[in-house]
Homo-oligomer: A and B are copies of this chain.
Amino acid sequence: MDYSNFFSKRTNLVTASFIRNILKAAKEPGVISFAGGLPNPQTFPTEELQDILAEVGKDKAAYQYDTTEGYAPLRKSVVEYMSKLGINADINNVLITTGSQQALFETALLFLNRGDRAIVEEPTFIGGIGPFKLFGFESPNSDNIEGIAMDDKGLLVDELESRLMILKNKKWQMPKFVYTIPTFQNPTGITMCEKRRKKLLDLAHEYDFLIIEDDPYGRISYEENVPKPIKSFDEEGRVVYLGTFSKIFAPGYRVAWVIAPTEIVAQMAKLKQNIDLHTETFGQMVIQRYMELGLLEKHIQEIIPFYQEKRDIMLKSMDAHFDKGYSNWVKPKGGLFTWITVQGVDTLALADLAVKKYRVAFVPGPAFYLHPDVGGDGMRINFSYPSNEQIEEGVIRLANAIEEERKKAFEETPTMI
């Protein structure tokens, strides 16, 4: 039977992500993977959780339906956790979501009519692009979701302002929101400076848009003086903040949260009733107990040096093996990623060569752009998942792959006569 006539039009606006196929190849034996965005399983506190699992496992409530907004004691723990980051909220500002992916999906579902304008920093998280297209695009070539570039201080806020002025002058629709991952960004590892954070908030007020601040990595910080979340400066209620336990604890339970004005939380909860009724109870109770015992803070203090060592090995290896004449990379102050750009190389072709011949995997740049005909010279490199030895060896393999691919590109360039 042919089902294509049954599928809704919106189905064609999303494609299965690039990352999935590369992750598949990355799982082959012998391949060193810089491709995923996975926390390192070594960090999962399996032993410490045994008592909590036994305790929660005896509680009938862990197996029952719960409220759509989330397990109330966990929402309260999230409020306390947020206050330490300078974010003031009460329990009615908290919605528990099934991973931050669901928060991004809800963001698109709640705010975007088909054709509505929204702005993202580019490159950006692939999990944001999907839902924004699904609900915002008219066709795969629509351009109402726009990208604004970044430099080493994050989103080019001045460029954003110029764009907003043009939109205003032409009386075109203003963006509903700007989506940003300001701290240790996925995919680049870049952190937005405090001045730009405040400027972005000023622009949101002046041009009347919301800011979706996605902050999965903020606590995994290797250096001092990392700016506070944009949400902590937000007095007007312009910022919808997304937090998650996936990187600071474990992603398996799919438990994350949104901090937003109560009207937005209420609308999101109404939609979530339709999406999955509520996020699973058992995991919420386990995490709440883990936080209550002070174990989450202890855990975060343990994973920071663990990941910092990996970052340091990654940067040292890149420094030793990459040719700075044509390669550039971000020195991330936290998080799980760095971003390399290599002049004159098509990283889609490079990814293929790298995984097949050199047995090293990464995600090529175009995956992180709204229209994947750009970003071809960039690549996302993850350092949280591989072992320290794999990082060193993987960088050497990648350097060799780059060299081969560059030669090929050079040979293929037709001579100008």
Contacts of A135 in B (CB 8 A): 8
Contacts of A273 in B (CB 8 A): 14, 16-17, 20, 101, 130
- Say whether A89 faces chain B, with CB atoms less than 8 Å apart: no
For chain A, which range describes its interface: under 10, 10 to 19, 20 to 34, or 35 or more residues? 35 or more
- Say whether A172 faces chain B, with CB atoms less than 8 Å apart: no
| B113 contacts A9, C-beta separation under 8 Å | yes
Contacts of A46 in B (CB 8 A): 57-60, 63
| B3 contacts A263, C-beta separation under 8 Å | yes
| B267 contacts A254, C-beta separation under 8 Å | no
Q: How many copies does the complex hold?
A: 2
Shortest beta-carbon distance from A247 to chain B in Å: 11
Shortest beta-carbon distance from A60 to chain B in Å: 4
What separation, in Å, do the CA atoms of A20 and B270 have in the docked complex?
10
| A270 contacts B99, C-beta separation under 8 Å | no
**A3-35 contact mask (Cβ, 8 Å, vs B): 1 or 0:** 100111111001111001000000000000000
- Say whether A295 faces chain B, with CB atoms less than 8 Å apart: no
Shortest beta-carbon distance from A321 to chain B in Å: 29
Stretch at the interface among A183-191, A193-201, A223-231, A277-285: A277-285
| B253 contacts A282, C-beta separation under 8 Å | yes
What separation, in Å, do the CA atoms of A137 and B149 have in the docked complex?
38
A: residues with CB less than 8 A from B are: 1, 3, 6-11, 14-17, 20, 36, 38-39, 41-42, 44, 46-47, 49-50, 53-54, 57-66, 68, 98-99, 101-102, 105, 109-113, 116, 127, 130-131, 134-135, 176-177, 210, 236-238, 250-255, 261, 263-264, 267, 269-271, 273-283
Extra pairs beyond A14-B270, A98-B280, A254-B278 (16, CB < 8 Å): A1-B261, A6-B111, A6-B176, A9-B113, A16-B270, A20-B68, A20-B273, A44-B63, A50-B57, A53-B54, A63-B253, A101-B274, A105-B275, A130-B274, A254-B277, A254-B280
- Please name 24 pairs of A and B residues whose Cβ atoms are closer than 8 Å in the assembled complex, sorted by A: A3-B264, A6-B176, A7-B110, A8-B111, A11-B110, A11-B270, A14-B274, A39-B64, A41-B61, A44-B60, A46-B57, A46-B63, A47-B58, A49-B57, A50-B58, A64-B252, A65-B251, A66-B252, A98-B276, A134-B274, A253-B282, A254-B278, A254-B279, A280-B280
